[in-house]
Structure 1
């Protein structure tokens, strides 16, 4: 792959460094290379800047070696004749599924020239234009030594692959028509594709878990505005602060307000997790942030403490025992259950909201005990999951 881009006007962001769904295009190319099974990633660069260093970290996090090259000659020492070379053009943003489907063996992926050339794709003959992706033979790299130092390496590898008989694999032109494949896309094209990409990776919960369904859809909408920016962590930070406020208000004797902030913590936590999940979609080796894990771990204990604080003092140990049983059964049902109802057991947003009117009337403990009975009875109706 390459970060070199001669087509970008001075003062504008080069195509490989443009943002798509919270990551640069070069980073999305690395994700694709890792998904294709690449063990070493060589990238042609003009210099080692912040973007290249972050690309290296992404590759290494996925288990691959990353080598930045400022000239093509060292490439021949990295690739043996027995290797296969996966090549992506500078600024190419392909459809991952199509690439993986057609590069099981060496192939030059192409579009019909009449549809692609006008969009900036390189014509290879009268009929086809190169899509910007191919899998070629490692032995072809040796022929790069015959080229002048200022030659376009990616274009040269394409010509060598065609001359050596690598098969041509036509792609469906709908990939271009539906905006699923781009070469050096502008901001408008990236924005349109990003909206579709976010929707396809959101997978919100069904409305059998109403609180989760609303919170995850809220997170999906937020992702369109904050993905890749510093604001991406705001929902998770706000969830943490809401949890602190909820606990403080519960201790001070304000159960109604404490459950309100508890519901807000649950909703913002889910929204923040949705934003993070969408941002990490397609990344090999991506991990949840420590903040997201902490909120997830602390939500049930905080809600259990709020229920205990809102219960009558004369019930003594039952104040904490009843909510502890409830959350234990919910966790058990969540792991045992399947289908659309599984998400219902995970819905802490709806649970916290339910406790608000219960706290207003003063029946938090009876409502909690009723929920324990309902969840317990539902467990007997769940089919055993086959691992």
Structure 2
């Protein structure tokens, strides 16, 4: 049994372009939908089209290079040819912008389901389901419904007709709060000005992201200054992971060559790139592979901090063991940062005062001048103690009852 998606891409904008190709935060709507669908388990995407302009064809090719088959379909007969008897089909409304959790909910095995929301002024662009509910832009139907549509005489709108068949068949209704439309978490992009408003709203609402004093107080504010440029450039999201990984490799090579201060300075720049990756993930539909790549880079950066003095010892002619103050305390510092992250992740919804916690960015920012001016042993002694003090202070403040 396969999971197949039918994505709408036929609506024409007033300026003559396709709604599915509108760009929000540097990516087209249909590419964002494709990433969400792949993460939900979809193995093939059928794109419901009226025509196939060159721009749409190029976009489908880009999606296809990510390892998923993309096929334009113009009629129910075309779709029926792609669907096996026990396949399930996910319907994605033309111009929909939704979060991964909504796709995952619809993709769960079971009977047909429809994402629905309340009938409010914010949801008028969605298809009406009944007197009080409107379609939320996602649904799952069976191959039998596709066969029923293909057998109907005349021409029918594939998306809406399959939706009606699901409603008439008593499909489960998964309710979505209308407030999510007000916050921009779910939206139907009707034109380019609407897309610009969604992008601007996202830039204003995004949090600094993640725990840690270095990231929250220094790195993310710097990244936010360049935020509008970062999110509008598709090349940035494409190449930033490679640049970030390369910078961390350069840190290791510089340390192994004895250039400690240069390695720490590059580590600060690499930490800034890692923060930019985290920032971009708030806007762009990251695939599971991209998320794993970011986690892998973060783990490598953490290991570099723990092993940095040992890498420096490789540069000398005798490869002497580093002093105890560095050899033992650098792993202690890395362990304290790992402890802080574990406490932060276990805190659940009570992640208050997260900016107090120690992180690798703070460590590299403090180590760089220490290595440059020759008091690294003292700094390696201070940093683990400072990290534990920050953790204790965070525990004390985070456990205080919230003011009513």
The two structures have a TM-score, normalised by structure 1, of 0.70
Aligned to 2:73: 69
- Structure 1 residues 303 and 188, CA gap change in structure 2 (3 angstroms): farther
Write out per-residue CA displacement over residues 167-201 of structure 1, whole angstroms, 9 at most, x where no aligned residue.
Answer: 55654332333333222343444344446657557
Deviation at 1:8, TM superposition (A): 1.4
Aligned match of 1:152 in 154, 157, 168? 157
Match for 2:21 among 8, 17, 21?
A: 17
Aligned in 2, Cα 1:106/1:132: closer, same or farther, shift over 3 Å? same
Residue of structure 2 in register with 1:89 after alignment: 93
Aligned to 1:364: 376
- 2:77 aligns to what SS in structure 1? coil
1:351, CA displacement in angstroms? 2.9
The alignment of Structure 1 onto Structure 2 pairs a total of residues equal to: 367
SS of 1:2's partner is strand
Distance 1:268 1:140, change over 3 A: same
- CA spacing shift, 1:100–1:201, aligned 2, 3 Å: farther
Query: CA 1:31/1:2 → structure 2, altered by over 3 Å: closer, same or farther?
Result: same
Measure, in 1, the Cα distance between the counterparts of 2:288 and 2:140: 20
Q: Which residue of 2 aligns with 1:52?
A: 60
Q: Structure 2 unaligned segments of length 5 or more: list them.
A: 1-5, 347-353, 392-404
Q: 1:39 and 1:230, CA in 2 relative to 1: closer, same or farther beyond 3 A? A: closer
The whole-number CA distance in structure 2 between the counterparts of 1:20 and 1:214 is 27
CA pair 239-79 structure 1, distance change in 2 beyond 3 A: closer
Measured in 2, the distance between the counterparts of 1:278 and 1:180 equals 11
Task: State the shift of 1:87 in Å.
Answer: 0.9
Matched, 1:203 2:215: no
The reply to whether residue 135 of structure 1 matches residue 147 of structure 2 is no
Aligned counterpart in structure 1 of residue 331 of structure 2, from 328, 333, 355: 328
Change (3 A) 1:7 1:329: same
Q: 1:35 to 1:196 in 2, by over 3 A?
A: farther
In the other structure, the counterpart of 1:107 is 113
Separation in 2 of the partners of 1:150 and 1:320?
A: 79
Distance 2:384 2:113 in 1: 59
CA shift digits 1:345-375 (9 cap, x unpaired) = 9734333333455456543334435657888
Query: 5 Å matches for 1:1-387?
Result: 1-12=6-17, 14-45=18-49, 46-47=51-52, 49-58=57-66, 60=68, 66-98=70-102, 100-101=104-105, 105-113=111-119, 115=121, 119-124=124-129, 127-147=132-152, 151-166=156-171, 171-194=176-199, 203-207=209-213, 210=214, 213-219=217-223, 222-227=226-231, 228-232=233-237, 233=239, 237=243, 258=262, 261-262=265-266, 264-275=268-279, 277-278=281-282, 283-286=287-290, 287-288=292-293, 296=301, 300=305, 304=309, 317-319=320-322, 323-335=326-338, 338-340=342-344, 347-359=359-371, 362-368=374-380
Larger Rg: 1
* Corresponding position of 1:384: none
Cα distance per residue 1:282-317 (max 9 Å; x no partner): 52333427995798389549964897699xx99982
1:213/1:16 Cα in 2 relative to 1: closer, same or farther (>3 Å)? same
C-alpha deviation, 1:26, in angstroms = 1.5
- Partners of 1:121 and 1:131 within 8 A in 2: yes
On the 8 A contact 2:305/2:331 being kept in 1, the answer is: no
Secondary structure, counterpart of 2:137 in structure 1: strand
Q: Does the Cα contact within 8 Å between 1:329 and 1:375 map onto a contact in 2?
A: no
RMSD, matched Cα: 4.9
Given the superposition, is the C-alpha separation of residues 149 and 323 from structure 1 closer, same or farther in structure 2, using an over 3 Å criterion? farther
- Separation (CA, whole Å) in 2 of partners of 1:265 and 1:307: 19
Instruction: Tell me the distance in 2 between the aligned counterparts of 1:280 and 1:120.
Output: 23
